[in-house]
Structure 1
Amino acid sequence: MEVKQKIQSFTDLVTWQEGHKLVLDIYKSTKSFPKEEMFGLTNQIRRAVVSITSNIAEGFNRKSIKDKTHFYVMAHGSVAEVQNQLLIARDVQYLEKSEFSQIANQTVLVHKLLTGLIKSLSRS
């Protein structure tokens, strides 16, 4: 039987860990975006994806359930923002379909994990 470890840091949250993988995927993928997008789509999608894990980290360290929920909901919104920007990147052919699919699937996973995290707070 697996022994569950106590979560002591935001980095122990599976939600943050999967979000961090998403950050790394986005940074890797956007390196190949056109240089003229450096201050456009590249910057926007990078800021949005970093916002996901930043809000998870900040929410984790808040004391009240209301504050925690607020930051996790903000992270949820940032996932939707990244999903929209990925669609744009795909449609303007900055991403290959296979790369898009892999990253899009990761956004769905992070979204589901955040939903579970938010629901767990409402049961507290």
Structure 2
Amino acid sequence: MRKPAKTFQDLIVWQKAHQFVLNTYKYTQSFPKYELYGLSSQFRRAAVSIPANIAEGFKKRSPKDTMRFLNISHGSLEECRYYIILAKDLSYGNSKQLNDLLEEVSRLLDGYYKAILNSES
């Protein structure tokens, strides 16, 4: 049995989501310059929103509030899923590794959400 997290940084889901952000920044560096204020910016903001909302929800006093922030995080995750598809279709580089990491974050986020939900019962 794992020890309870003391900070959001202790959460594996946050750690993986943060890694996704770092990888997203690296991936979008190679996008065409004309995408700087378009797809690159949107993709990065959505990616940052995933761990940011996990962090914000971590210290909320009620499970309901925590789950609301996790729901926002999951929405941003799905937005990133689309941006990966779009970047691939625009031939902006190989996104397989980034997509695999996104899938892992998605599974972890689902598990964390369910754990918070079950703690309410």
Q: What TM-score bracket applies, with the shorter chain setting the length? A: over 0.9
Question: How far 1:4 sits from its partner (Å)?
Answer: 3.3
In structure 1, the residue matched to 2:113 is: 118
In structure 2, the residue matched to 1:43 is: 41
Aligned equivalents of 2:46 and 2:2: distance in 1? 31
**Partner letter of residue 62 of structure 1?**
K
Aligned equivalents of 1:6 and 1:81: distance in 2? 30
Aligned equivalents of 1:49 and 1:18: distance in 2? 12
In structure 1, the residue matched to 2:89 is: 91
The CA deviation string for residues 3-42 of structure 1, in whole angstroms up to 9 with x for no partner, is: 7344110000000000011000000011111110000000
Aligned equivalents of 1:95 and 1:113: distance in 2? 26
Aligned equivalents of 2:67 and 2:24: distance in 1? 25
Residue number among 3, 14, 17 corresponding to 1:16 in the alignment: 14
The CA deviation string for residues 59-115 of structure 1, in whole angstroms up to 9 with x for no partner, is: 00111111000000110111100010011001101112xxx1111011111011010
Q: TM-score, normalization: structure 1?
A: 0.93
The yes-or-no answer on 1:57 pairing with 2:55 is yes
Aligned equivalents of 1:36 and 1:44: distance in 2? 13
Secondary structure of 1:46's match? Answer: helix
Q: TM-score, normalization: structure 2?
A: 0.95
The alignment's C-alpha RMSD in Å is: 1.0
Structure 1 stretches of at least 4 aligned residues deviating more than 2 Å after TM superposition: 3-6
What count of residue pairs does the alignment treat as equivalent? 119
